[in-house]
Amino acid sequence: MDMEKYWDIANMAFRIMNLIVNAGMMSIFVKPFLREKKNRYVVMTAFFLSMLLLLLIPYEISSSVAYGIGIVASFSLCTVADRYNQLQKIFLAVSSYLILWIASGVINEPWNQIWKLTLGKIPDERIGLQFAAFIVLEALNIVLENAVLYFMIKLLHRVYKNKQEIMTAKELFLLLSPYLSIASGYWVIQFLTNVYEMDTSVYLWNEHTIYRGLVAGYQILSFAAIVTGVMSYGWIKESEEDRIQRAVIAGQIKDMKDHVDKIEGLYQGIRSIKHDINNHILVLEELVATGNEKDAKEYLEAIKKDFAESGSLVKTGNPVTDVIISEKQKDALDKGMEFSSSFAFPQNVNISTYDISVVLGNILSNAFEAAHKSAEKRVNLSSVMKGQIFFIEVRNSFDGALFIDEATGLPKSNKDQNQGHGYGLRNVKKVAEKYFGTMEIIRNDDEVRTTVMMVMPS
């Protein structure tokens, strides 16, 4: 076998190795955005196999087209495997395409200079040394390219804050706007390079050495534009989240006021009955004395009804939580759901009634919503005090799929968060952390258990 064959084999081997590492980098890039870990392997495998196929076919395909085909193939399969947040997958696909191009372009000029200083200095007659240097340089090229790629991926992960939020069409357009300019510049560069080569039979970067540096500079600026766009998107989302959060808190304050008003109404009713009890006794005595037993019974039933309504609250040891749980009990009855409660408000501790109501209101609302969609339709609320640690636990029947965000520990919601969905459990977590505690959500078969733990100061 002549030496040229060895060069061809080595060149092909390194190109395949680079595809393997590139595929691994794509897996790292998409991992925090996907609900199921297995889908990152779908992206990785589809990218590698499609790129390998394009590399091995006997037709010449430009690298820009080949990478485009590989990215489209991998993210198309990923979307089929998981249809959640499809617009975000378009953003990830375009981002992957551009950062692959940027990573390979940025290291071109440094690697080219290293090539000239090493392999370019070796005499032609020392073929073995040239081949050894070629092996080292190709390995270095793979390391440098993927090191730059890894740095860009980690930086994008850092500036892209809420990776699990559902992306809207407007947000996708906002993010892709700078990408379109970058991609247009990329294609213009490719076109001019190819035209120059066809017209002169000379590679542009060989004729004008500054060309590589200019392209690398454009690619660095392109990545800076990508990072800036993602950061701007994050700031807009944070501002929107603050607005929605304030609206959610305002709603919770209104709910609390409604609870207090209801308590005041019930207690006012009790005071009215106690105030009028002597009059009621006199009326009953008069009706019995005059033989109007029928009227006496009707009057007595009316009094009993008033007492029943005033005493219909669940007794938890706190009037606010009495109303919250009583309302949930009534809601369960109306919806044909099974609801049981052994909740008791912690006594002799320094804790805000408002904080406990935020916890109860939100976790019960989520539990009721999930249980109502299940076949069993069951919710159980309980609490226990162990020393200074207070536990609130809600168990509800559940038939759907539950995906937990590793970053927040909260379930991922398919609902529109712009309408305030998903913020209730965030508020519960904030309350738990305020009291040096935590919240845990676990699914066991057909049941979901939500536990909130708080340390209660004396």
CB 145 within 8 A of CB 105: no
Amino acid at 167: M
In this predicted structure, which of 34-38, 77-81, 95-99, 201-205 has the lowest mean pLDDT?
A: 201-205
Residues 19 and 161 reside in one and the same domain: yes
Q: What SS3 class is residue 382?
A: strand
- If one counts the domains in the chain, the total is 2
CB 393 within 8 A of CB 450: yes
CB 175 within 8 A of CB 230: yes
Please give the residue that has the higher pLDDT: either 389 or 212.
389
d(CA 224, CA 381): 51
CB 167 within 8 A of CB 42: no
The answer to whether residue 342 sits within a structural domain is yes
Residues 118 and 227 reside in one and the same domain: yes
Would you state the structure tokens that stand for residue 280, as one six-digit string? Answer: 């009621």
The answer to whether residue 277 sits within a structural domain is no
Other Cβ atoms less than 10 A from the Cβ of 351: the count is 17
Non-local CB neighbours of 309 within 8 Å, separated by 6+ positions: 266, 269
Phi, psi of 412 (to 5 degrees): -85, 135
Any idea what DSSP says for residue 411? B
Indicate whether this model's pTM tops 0.85: no
Would you state the structure tokens that stand for residue 247, as one six-digit string? Answer: 């609206």
Residue-number span of the structural domain to which 383 is assigned: 314-458
Phi, psi of 132 (to 5 degrees): -65, -40
Last residue of a domain, one of 225, 247, 269: 247
Output the pLDDT for position 313.
63
Pick from 43-57, 126-140, 420-434 the range whose average pLDDT is largest: 43-57
- Sequence length of the chain is 458
DSSP track, 179-213: HHHHHHHHHHHHHHHHHHHHHHSS-HHHH-THHHH
Residue 1 pLDDT exceeds 60: no
Q: Give the CA distances from residue 304 to residues 265, 293, 313, in Å, rounded to whole numbers and listed in that order.
A: 18, 16, 15
Query: Each residue of 68-97: pLDDT tens digit?
Result: 888 888 888 888 877 778 888 888 898 888
Last residue of a domain, one of 200, 228, 247: 247
Query: Each residue of 401-443: pLDDT tens digit?
Result: 777 666 566 776 655 444 444 567 888 888 888 898 999 888 8
CB 391 within 8 A of CB 453: yes
d(CA 130, CA 7): 10
Residues 210 and 90 reside in one and the same domain: yes
Output the pLDDT for position 264.
59
Residues 228 and 341 reside in one and the same domain: no
Output the pLDDT for position 229.
85
The answer to whether residue 338 sits within a structural domain is yes
Residues 227 and 321 reside in one and the same domain: no
CATH number for the domain harbouring residue 338: 3.30.565.10
Residues 43 and 176 reside in one and the same domain: yes
Q: Which residues on adjacent β-strands are paired with residue 397?
A: 447
The answer to whether residue 52 sits within a structural domain is yes
Q: Which residues on adjacent β-strands are paired with residue 451?
A: 393, 440
CB 374 within 8 A of CB 350: no
Residues 320 and 220 reside in one and the same domain: no
pLDDT tier at 65 (50, 70, 90 boundaries)?
Answer: confident
Last residue of a domain, one of 207, 225, 247: 247
| Mean pLDDT value across residues 36-64 | 83
Residues 242 and 328 reside in one and the same domain: no
Residue 176 pLDDT exceeds 60: yes
d(CA 208, CA 430): 59
Output the pLDDT for position 391.
94
Q: Kindly tell me the burial class for residue 110, based on how many C-beta atoms sit within 10 Å of its own C-beta (0-12, 13-18, 19 or more).
A: middle
Residues 215 and 96 reside in one and the same domain: yes
Residues 90 and 232 reside in one and the same domain: yes
Non-local CB neighbours of 10 within 8 Å, separated by 6+ positions: 131, 134, 135, 138
The answer to whether residue 102 sits within a structural domain is yes
Query: Each residue of 274-329: pLDDT tens digit?
Result: 656 666 666 667 677 777 777 777 777 776 666 655 555 678 888 888 888 888 88
The answer to whether residue 259 sits within a structural domain is no
Output the pLDDT for position 418.
46
d(CA 315, CA 256): 18
Residues 197 and 337 reside in one and the same domain: no
pLDDT tier at 107 (50, 70, 90 boundaries)?
Answer: confident
The answer to whether residue 299 sits within a structural domain is no
Residue 388 pLDDT exceeds 60: yes
Output the pLDDT for position 276.
64
Output the pLDDT for position 171.
84
Output the pLDDT for position 170.
85
Alpha carbon 325 to chain centroid distance? 31
Q: What SS3 class is residue 377?
A: coil
Residues 238 and 132 reside in one and the same domain: yes
Give me the sign of the Cα torsion angle 54, 56, 57, 59.
Answer: positive
| Mean pLDDT value across residues 179-193 | 79
The answer to whether residue 297 sits within a structural domain is no
Output the pLDDT for position 417.
47
CB 282 within 8 A of CB 316: no
Output the furthest CA–CA distance in the chain (Å, rounded): 134
Would you state the structure tokens that stand for residue 22, as one six-digit string? Answer: 């590139």
d(CA 405, CA 35): 8
